[in-house]
Amino acid sequence: MEHPPLSRRGFLQLSALSIGGFSLHGSSLVQPAGGAHVVLVVSPDDRTASAPQVQWAIRELRQTLIDRGVSVRQVESIEKAPASDLRIIVAGHEAPTAGPILKMAGASALRGPESLALVPSTHEGKPILLACGHDPRGLMYAVLELADRVQYADKPLRALSMAKPTLEQPLNAVRAIGRPFVSDVEDRP
């Protein structure tokens, strides 16, 4: 049986799985995080959080948390989330839950497309974390940032605790310009 050629991406994935398999014995990745629980609060009324790319990012965060031994559930409002669990609110900047948290952090308005905020706060005396974006792409980036932090941290829940807000926006408004050169005579001058 002949196998199709292995792409670069396929090779890297296969290599990572192989190396990971050798190091799982004694690794903290297979150890549960001591009964850690995270609740994702995502309102179905939030158009930004309901966008397909944001839903994909939420699934990525969920899977990363599960892979690290953290139990995850998703609820529609902060009132339905147990106060004993770490609560992550995933919301667009215009969502009613995001406004007061952003205002308290001094980031009341995310400016420009693709901007994001990760804001630690409290609700009824218990810690919460707001992952917020100006638009669906910004919110997707915020959620994926959390997934990356969890994936690469020694202690996944510690990676989600922040001392101060993180506010980011693209450095360049225009990220790329492509101009095809098709005619030596007309394009060279």
Residue 51 lies in a domain: yes
Burial class (CB in 10 A: 0-12, 13-18, 19+), 183: exposed
Q: What is the CATH number of the domain that holds 64?
A: 3.30.379.10
β pairing state of 71-75 and 116-123: unpaired
Residue 26 lies in a domain: no
pTM of structure: 0.72
| Tens-binned pLDDT, residue by residue, of the chain (189 aa) | 555 666 666 665 666 555 544 433 333 333 334 567 899 999 999 999 999 999 999 999 999 999 999 999 999 888 888 888 889 999 998 888 888 888 887 766 667 888 888 999 888 888 889 999 999 999 999 999 999 999 999 988 888 888 888 888 887 777 667 767 677 777 766
Domain assignment of residue 140, given as a range: 33-164
Residue 128 lies in a domain: yes
Say how many domains are in the chain: 1
d(CA 174, CA 114) in angstroms, rounded, equals 12
Residue 28 lies in a domain: no
Residue 27 lies in a domain: no
Residue 185 lies in a domain: no
Residue 138 lies in a domain: yes
